[in-house]
Amino acid sequence: MIIELTKRQEQIIEIVKSEGPITGEHIAERLSLTRATLRPDLAILTMSGFLDARPRVGYFYTGKDSNQLIKEQVNKKIVKDYKAQPIVISESSSVYDGICTLFLEDVGTLFVVNNMGHLAGVVSRKDLLRAALGKQNLTDIPISIIMTRMPNIITCTAEESLLEAAKKLIDYQIDSLPVVRAVQNGNRTVFEVIGRVTKTTITKGFVEFGNEVTI
C-alpha cells in the first residue's frame, strides 16, 4: 500500500490539530464536503497513524510526524517473518565437512550444534579458509577447533525487529545471525537454532518496506 498525503488530507490534519477532538461531520462541514466523500481520507489518516479516532468523541491528532511514523512501521518488520532456514553442522564434523556444506548450501556461515541439537558455535567462510591454508588433513580437524564458541556468539530472537538485527550485523561486523529460542537444560539456559538472518534478509525486508509505504 502506498500512502501519499494529498492536499485535502493535509488540510484534515491541520483542522484536527487545531480543533480536535472533532467529529467527521464537523471536519466535512469545515471543508464543505459530504461525510461520505471524506470517509476514505479519514480512514487512510487513521490507519497510517496521523490521526486517532474514538467512538462518540471524534478524531485526535497523534502528534506524530512522518519520521516517527516511518520508524514505527520499520519496527513492525519482525525477524520471524523474514528468517531463513538455518544451515547447521554437527560439532563432531570435520573442517572438510564444513567446507563441503558451506559450498553445497551456498551460505557464508554455518551454525554448529552439539549432540543435543543446541547451539555450540559458529563457523564463517573466513574461519574455514584460514584452516584450509594449513598443511593438515582437513578431514582430521574437528570443526569445534576453529569455531567461535558460546557465549561469544551474537544471536537474535524471532521477536526482534529487523532493524535491531541489522544493527547487530553492523556493530559486530558479521554476515549472519542465528535466530535462537532459549530452552532450559537443567540449571542452564541453552539455545535452539530456529533460523538465520543475513544481510540479504535485511535488504529484502527493507526493499519490501520501501515498496509498501511512502509518506
Per-residue pLDDT 10s for the chain (215 aa) are 445 678 898 899 889 888 888 998 999 999 999 988 888 888 888 877 788 888 888 898 887 665 565 566 667 789 999 999 999 999 999 999 999 999 999 999 999 999 999 999 999 999 999 998 878 899 999 999 999 998 899 999 999 998 899 999 999 999 999 999 999 988 889 999 999 999 888 888 877 766 655 44
Q: Cα separation of 45 and 10, whole Å?
A: 9
Query: Any residues with CB less than 8 A from the CB of 146 and at least 6 apart, and which?
Result: 95, 123, 127, 128, 130, 131
Q: What domains lie within the chain, and their CATH numbers?
A: 7-70 (1.10.10.10), 79-207 (3.10.580.10)
DSSP3 helix / strand / coil % (the chain, rounded to 5): 45, 25, 30
Q: Biggest alpha carbon distance in the chain?
A: 84
Length of the chain counted residue by residue: 215
Quickly tell me which residue has 500512502 as its cell: 3
In this predicted structure, what is the pLDDT of residue 1?
Answer: 43
In this predicted structure, what is the pLDDT of residue 66?
Answer: 59
Contact status, residue 24 vs residue 58, Cβ threshold 8 Å: yes
In this predicted structure, what is the pLDDT of residue 211?
Answer: 64
- Grid cell, residue 106, equals 551456498
Q: In the 8-state DSSP scheme, what is residue 83?
A: P
In this predicted structure, what is the pLDDT of residue 69?
Answer: 58
